[in-house]
A and B are shown apart, each in its own frame.
Chain A
Amino acid sequence: MNKKIKDLLILFTVAIVTPVCIFAAVYKYEAAVTIGTPTVLISHIQPEQVPPINKELVLVGTVTFSGSASISQFNFNYVLQGGSTTTETITNITPISDGVYRFTKGIAFDQTSGNISYSFSITGLVGSVPVSTNTAVYIATVTAASSKNVDPSSPVPVVLESGNQTAGNTSVVFVSGSFTGTQNITITQLDHLNPPVTSSGFGGQKTAETDSFVALYLITPEGLELNPKATLTLYFGDANPSKLFMKYREAAGKWVTITDNVVIDPAMKTISARISKLGYYAVSTLGEIPDNDYRPAKRVVIMGRDTFKFENMSDGDKLKIFNVNGRKIREINSRGSYSGGFEWDGRKDDGNWADSGTYIYQLKIQGKDKLISGTIAFVK
């Protein structure tokens, strides 16, 4: 055989036959996986507790398949206190990488104590092989409080889970040496719509301030000084994060706005700030109200036709009315029938109508250092 023809045959063999052989080998390997033992792994880190204030339990986890899969059913099974098992289909499943899916599941509940037990189960096909698996039963305690003994020399964070695993939690992170002696630190979420009555007079009084709360927490021991400051993070749920403020209730009952290193995380639904004392903290939609937002819009009032309305005034604020001689004729310290603030109808403290004329008002707003003054006219 001609040598040249011989070399061409060898080259042909190497160029054509080798890739075919390699392809055949690979094809044979993949085919071999489909007939192996399939694996399915459901991963979920359970919440320890669920606060009953938000009444939301939003769980997240992942499902990992060892091969291509066809899921026919992904169920969530839960039991509320005193109830029977409820099964719901989880549909919120999104692929996050090859063979890995992320799921979220929220449930509504009304119970304010006890436990919620739940598990996940899945059935489907991995390739052509049917599989079925389920997790162990998780138990979450319905409680609004979380406690931890904190040693100031090696402090650990205290965390109150929000119940929403797609968002953040409420927590206090201490700096070493922030206080003296081991302290039992407790975070309790309170019902911001119905603030509790306390010995210091908090609660039982609906004010513009408390009306503005979207979340309310008590962190004890109340009044514990923190130096260096700790970082407090508060979960605020579904409130609009574009205008939120963290408030602290001082001993005298005055709510002050925290301004030290405030960070709002819309994704985590949390607001953080550095704090120097434990006690009542709230997430509020009410920041510093401009002075003009307290002043009455109608500055001339005819007796019996209308009243002067001082907006955004809260119980404990003070309204004083003076005649032009500088004599106080009326003082109002709480809301009456007007829910938007304080109202003056033109009567003096003795119940008689004031004379027609010009009057000076002075407003003492809790949390504001300076009085708000202005003039109004009462006419008969």
Chain B
Amino acid sequence: MIKNKIVLISLLMIMAVIPKAYAAFESTYWGVRPLAMGGAFTAVANDANAPLYNIAGIANLTEREISLSASRLFTGLDGVEIGTNYFEYTQPLSMTTDMYGVMSFAWASLSSPGLSREDTFNIGYARKVNDVLRLDPEIINLTAGLNLKYLRHEYNFDLSNSPGLYPSSKGGFTADIGVLAQFTNGISVGLSSKYLTTPDIGFENEDKVSRMNVVGLAYYNELLPVVHIPYFTVAMDAVFVNNETNLRFGLESYLVDGKLAVRTGMRQEAFDIGFGYDFMLSEKIKLIVDYALEIPLEVEESYGSHFFGISFKF
């Protein structure tokens, strides 16, 4: 009965988000681990990269986490200099019980020096909602979250035909909501609706940041039957934006006693591979180093986009 209720709720949420599909502020390049999995992270969302994919995922974090990453996009192309930076911090409000939930602070930036820049500032909160909905934790772990965002973009109008005519930057507030349902059989379903308020960030014309809805599906198994792949995750995201649907796929496995992560993924425009390694710096501090390489499928003559990240869990 409860199972049916959950499935019904999930379907209703999917039905609710699918028809509302618009354009987006940049939201692809955040976090090295999600990148290596092709960006299919909405139903995974189990580390410090969660806030920009599915804020609900941070509710499952039991440690403080700091994550830093940087990238250089489309290397090898003369005249193209685009980079991203990402910083995230998650703080469980209680280290002894999860009933108070988890908060996060994140900043994501994409810039082309001398030309343009986009920044996203995030404050998020998520908690488990099994108790509210009276769901059996033996069947499902359901979390929900809210992410408040400030979006800002700026341009070097000296390079335009109208220098001095506009302020160099415009911004707006908005919010994301997310839900993550993790079933005990290893299946997870994530829903994330981003830029809910569609703020207008236009300089001269209306330019509403359009809503993006993502439905994620993932499966995790500590030892995949038959092929015996350890700590195996397969994930898929369906991104609905501007009446278009984009699919993202990702795979991950942890080898070497669960310390070495190998990942791969793809989306329509790119193919990704990556790895990560966990180091125990002390009894309570873990360092995670991640790298991802994204090979663009449509942009030619590039040596790919390179992403580096480090995270601390403590």
Contacts and interface: CB of A to CB of B under 8 A. Distances in A.
A130 interface: no
B155 interface: yes
B45 to A, nearest CB: 20
B299 A360 contact: yes
Interface string A352-380: 00011110101000000011111111011
A293 B101 CA distance: 57
A147 to B, nearest CB: 46
A88 to B, nearest CB: 56
Contact of A357 (B26, B77, B268): B26
Contacts of B23: 355
Contacts of A140: none
B299 A362 contact: yes
Nearest to A375: B112
A60 interface: no
A325 interface: yes
Contact of B155 (A300, A303, A328): A300
Contacts of A360: 74, 77, 80, 82, 299
Chain B interface mostly: loop
A175 interface: no
Contacts of A375: 79-82, 112, 115-116
B161 A322 contact: no
Interface stretch (B60-68, B130-138, B197-205, B218-226): B197-205
B81 A326 contact: no
A148 interface: no
Given A372-B79, A375-B80, A377-B112, A325 B28 contact: yes
A221 B189 CA distance: 70
A33 interface: no
A300 B301 CA distance: 24
A376 B79 CA distance: 10
Contact of B118 (A301, A305, A357, A371): A357
Nearest to A355: B23
B73 interface: yes
A371 B116 contact: no
A263 interface: no
Nearest to A299: B159
B301 A356 contact: no
B160 A302 contact: yes
Interface in A317-335: 320, 322, 324-328
Contacts of B81: 375
A250 interface: no
A325 B162 contact: no
B203 A380 contact: yes
Contact of A300 (B29, B157, B205): B157
B155 A379 contact: yes
B162 A305 contact: yes
A327 B239 CA distance: 15
Given A322-B299, A327-B298, A380-B206, A300 B112 contact: no
A358 B203 contact: no
B116 A380 contact: no
Contacts of B210: 355
Given A300-B115, A380-B202, A305 B155 contact: no
Contacts of B297: 326
A362 B302 CA distance: 11
A306 interface: yes
A375 B79 CA distance: 7
Interface residues of B, number: 45
B205 A380 contact: yes
B166 to A, nearest CB: 8
Nearest to B24: A355
B115 A324 contact: no
A291 B251 CA distance: 41
**How many A residues touch the partner, as a band?**
20 to 34
Given A324-B82, A360-B77, A298 B204 contact: no
Contacts of A192: none
Given A306-B160, A357-B26, A360-B74, A371 B301 contact: yes
Given A370-B301, A374-B80, A324 B160 contact: no
A355 B28 CA distance: 15
A326 B205 CA distance: 25
A248 to B, nearest CB: 26
Contacts of A325: 26, 28, 267, 269-270
A302 B82 contact: no
Nearest to A352: B242
> Looking at A305, A322, A377, which has the most chain B CB atoms within 10 Å of its CB?
A377
Interface in B104-124: 110, 112, 115-116, 118
B270 A326 contact: yes
A82 interface: no
Contact of B162 (A302, A324, A358): A302
Contact of B115 (A305, A327, A362, A377): A377
A112 to B, nearest CB: 47
Contacts of B115: 299-300, 358, 375-377
Contacts of A356: 153, 201-202, 207
Interface in A247-305: 291, 295, 298-305
Contacts of A373: 74, 77-80, 301
B154 to A, nearest CB: 10
A361 to B, nearest CB: 9
A96 to B, nearest CB: 58
Contacts of B162: 302, 305
Given A324-B26, A326-B296, A373-B77, A305 B269 contact: no
B156 interface: yes
Given A301-B160, A324-B82, A325-B28, A377 B155 contact: yes
19 contacts: A298-B159, A299-B160, A300-B115, A300-B155, A301-B161, A303-B204, A324-B82, A326-B269, A326-B297, A326-B299, A327-B298, A328-B298, A355-B24, A355-B207, A362-B300, A375-B115, A377-B116, A379-B160, A380-B204
Interface of A: 291, 295, 298-306, 320, 322, 324-328, 355-358, 360, 362, 370-377, 379-380
Given A302-B160, A360-B77, 9 more contacts: A300-B115, A302-B166, A327-B268, A357-B116, A357-B118, A370-B301, A371-B301, A374-B79, A380-B202
